[in-house]
């Protein structure tokens, strides 16, 4: 692991009366692929959006590569690439037009941008879609465009919120390998996922968030040791830490309901 890249202390985020994050403390090093796991509504997206300066904390301190996210939001955005859970794209543009626009915003030289766009488009097999309107594309293709737009400026911090959603197995494998290469080059990668097998196979460390609190953090090996079971699966640890261990009675209850 490299130097400390992201430091979070006493982080709280309220939406009106609702507390989305409830006292988060977390350190992530450069060169790490760090997974954020948790059920829907646990605060994962809120945490990721605060790290990349899209949301402001209610209370707490967050620094990204030594930059305070409240004091230096524009610089944090410059060094970050963010893929939201649902792609937010200009539907009346083509992927080529959209990525050219992103390149100009990111101040990437035209020849460098052209090469990067072509290589990404070929890797994700969307060359034949580059001149179609984004609004006409499938969810998976839009996701690929969103991923390319987040990586095109070679960011130091890569933040992916459920970015594997909608990707075909080949593209998901390419993205996983790409993230591993970025980490080896000293980049910091943080991603949330519902697919626990992905977290298990890609992440150096991970945190499980439940109701706005971190309930476990560490490597998969450390989590297994803490759970007291050397053959525990990540799914078992996840369900135990998020209070959902007895699923049999729920399934049986549903079965009884459907039989009436």
- Domains in the chain (CATH in brackets) are 1-79+187-260 (3.40.50.300)
Which pLDDT belongs to residue 235?
76
* Predicted TM-score (pTM) above 0.95: no
Which pLDDT belongs to residue 166?
84
| Cα–Cα distance measured from residue 169 to residue 110, given in angstroms and rounded to the nearest whole number | 31
Q: Nearest to residue 210, comparing CAs of 12, 36, 33?
A: 36
Which pLDDT belongs to residue 1?
54
DSSP state of 221: H
Cβ contacts of residue 230 below 8 Å, gap of 6+? 224
Number of other CB atoms surrounding residue 42 within 10 Å: 22
What tens-digit pLDDT sequence spans the chain (260 residues)?
568 899 999 999 999 999 999 999 999 999 999 999 988 888 999 999 999 999 999 999 999 999 999 999 999 999 999 999 888 899 999 999 999 999 999 999 999 999 999 999 999 999 999 999 999 999 999 999 999 999 999 999 999 998 888 888 999 899 999 999 999 999 999 999 877 788 888 899 999 999 999 998 998 888 877 777 666 777 777 777 777 655 556 566 667 666 65
In which element (H, E) is residue 124 found?
none
In which element (H, E) is residue 64 found?
strand 59-64
Q: Nearest to residue 234, comparing CAs of 247, 249, 246, 219?
A: 219
Direct distance between the N- and C-terminal alpha carbons of the chain, in angstroms, rounded to an integer: 56
Which pLDDT belongs to residue 164?
85
Q: What are residue 207's phi and psi, to 5 degrees?
A: -125, 135
Query: For residue 159, what are the β-bridge partners?
Result: 82, 190
| Cα–Cα distance measured from residue 161 to residue 164, given in angstroms and rounded to the nearest whole number | 9
| Exposure b/e, 55-94, CB count within 10 A at least 16 = b | bebeebebbbbebebeebbeebbebbbbbbeebebeeebb
Q: Give the number of C-alpha atoms closer than 13 A to the C-alpha of residue 67, restricted to the C-beta side.
A: 20
| Cα–Cα distance measured from residue 139 to residue 152, given in angstroms and rounded to the nearest whole number | 20
Cα radius of gyration (the chain): 19
Per DSSP, the chain holds a count of helices (H) and strands (E) of: 10, 10
């Amino acid at each position: 692991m490299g130097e400390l890249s992201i430091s979070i202390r006493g982080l709280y985020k309220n939406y009106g009366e609702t507390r989305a994050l409830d006292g988060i403390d977390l350190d992530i090093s450069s060169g790490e692929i760090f997974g954020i796991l948790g059920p829907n509504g646990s605060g994962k997206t809120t945490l990721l959006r605060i790290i990349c300066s899209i949301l402001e904390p209610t209370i707490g301190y967050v620094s990204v590569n030594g930059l305070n996210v409240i004091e230096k939001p524009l610089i944090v955005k410059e060094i970050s690439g963010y893929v939201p859970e649902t792609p937010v794209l200009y539907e009346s543009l083509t992927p080529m037009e959209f990525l050219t626009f992103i390149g100009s915003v990111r101040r990437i030289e035209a020849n460098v941008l052209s090469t990067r766009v072509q290589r990404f488009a070929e890797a994700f097999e969307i060359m034949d879609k580059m001149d179609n309107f984004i609004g006409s594309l499938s969810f998976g293709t839009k996701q690929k465009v969103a991923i390319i737009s987040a990586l095109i400026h070679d960011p130091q911090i890569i933040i992916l919120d459920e970015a594997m959603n909608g990707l075909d197995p080949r593209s998901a494998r390419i993205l996983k390998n790409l993230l591993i290469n970025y980490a080896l080059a000293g980049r910091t990668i943080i991603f949330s996922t519902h697919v626990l097998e992905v977290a298990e196979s890609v992440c150096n460390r991970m945190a499980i968030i439940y109701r706005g609190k971190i309930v476990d953090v560490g490597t998969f090996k450390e989590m297994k040791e803490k759970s007291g079971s050397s053959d525990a699966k990540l799914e078992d640890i996840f369900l135990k830490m998020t209070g959902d261990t007895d699923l049999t009675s729920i399934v049986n209850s549903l079965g009884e309901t459907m039989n009436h």
